[in-house]
Amino acid sequence: MPKKYIIAIGVALAVLAAGFVAFNRPAELKVESGNGRSSDAASPAPGSESGDKFVVAHPFNLDQIASFSKYRSCMGHSYSGQTVAGGEEPHNRSLKHYITPLASVRESGEEIPIYAPFDGEISDVTYSEPEGDYQVWVTPNPTGIKQWHFIFFHVLLDEGFAEGSAVAAGERIGRAHLNLGGNFDIGMKRSAPFSRPAISPPFEHFSDAILADYEARGVTVADITIPKEYRDANPCAIIPGSEGVDARFLPGSGEREQVVLE
């Protein structure tokens, strides 16, 4: 668990003793999406009934992206565990998305910017070896008892951004650092006192305006997730000797479990 959340537990207890939690967000937000499109979107407090869809700006430029892996795919390696939906999923699936840029973007070395998906704070920055890049957590409600975290994997922050930096929806905060597979990743977690951060499907928290841009490229929410029942019955093939939390999947086993943007 990131070091800041140990501190957060103590803060949460203090807030409970006081008998209230204060958290305010703007009523209306004009967001400039990463692909140059704009939309007006309400930005309710995450955790409220109306606040489930709090990603109101594109985290990357869709015009640079060729495809991304489905939630529960067999791409890469295991990324699983406790989920927000309840229960723990086994280490034979990936509960995140690998984002693959267009071949023309990769071959040209064109920079792939990343953007804050909402107003909030960069709550944790962890160095990744041997890639030489970072895992970055962005949190919309850093003072809340239950905190959501949008996670970028294999990225580099721009100068001026660090752990603790405030960010605005649609603001550029860094760039992708493509790993050996030619992609970078995104995920979503929710943390709460006395429990491990739990995983949630990122696209469940994208606003309708953001999802409309995916639909315009031929992708619907139904295309994005592999049902749990299917994955349970058809677990990912694991490279012998790599079993466990970081189990590696057989190369090519997730190639057909990707969504291609039009």
DSSP string, 53-118: --B-S-SB-GGGEEEEEPBTB-SSB-B-EEBTTSSEE-SSSB-SEEEEE-HHHHHHT---EEE-SS
pLDDT at residue 162, as a whole number: 98
User: Does the pLDDT value for residue 117 go beyond 50?
Assistant: yes
- Residues paired with residue 167 on neighbouring β-strands, in sequence order: 120
Q: Does domain 3-260 correspond to CATH entry 1.10.1740.110? A: no
Amino acid found at 144? G
61-110 pLDDT, tens digit each: 999 999 999 999 999 999 999 999 989 999 999 999 999 999 999 999 99
pLDDT at residue 181, as a whole number: 78
pLDDT at residue 1, as a whole number: 52
Position 56 confidence tier, pLDDT thresholds 50, 70, 90:
very high
The whole-model pTM stands at 0.82
User: Does the pLDDT value for residue 3 go beyond 90?
Assistant: no
Gap between the Cα atoms of 196 and 190, Å rounded: 9
Query: Once rounded to an integer, what is the mean pLDDT over residues 39-49?
Result: 45
Contact 257, 69 (CB under 8 A): yes
Gap between the Cα atoms of 232 and 50, Å rounded: 31
Position 245 confidence tier, pLDDT thresholds 50, 70, 90:
very high
Neighbours of 244 (CB within 10 A): 10
Query: Once rounded to an integer, what is the mean pLDDT over residues 29-36?
Result: 41
Residue 231 dihedral angles phi and psi, to the nearest 5° = -65, -35
Contact 196, 82 (CB under 8 A): yes
User: Does the pLDDT value for residue 13 go beyond 70?
Assistant: no
User: Does the pLDDT value for residue 27 go beyond 70?
Assistant: no
pLDDT at residue 51, as a whole number: 55
Query: Once rounded to an integer, what is the mean pLDDT over residues 148-167?
Result: 98
Gap between the Cα atoms of 111 and 155, Å rounded: 11
Query: Once rounded to an integer, what is the mean pLDDT over residues 133-147?
Result: 94
Query: Once rounded to an integer, what is the mean pLDDT over residues 207-217?
Result: 97
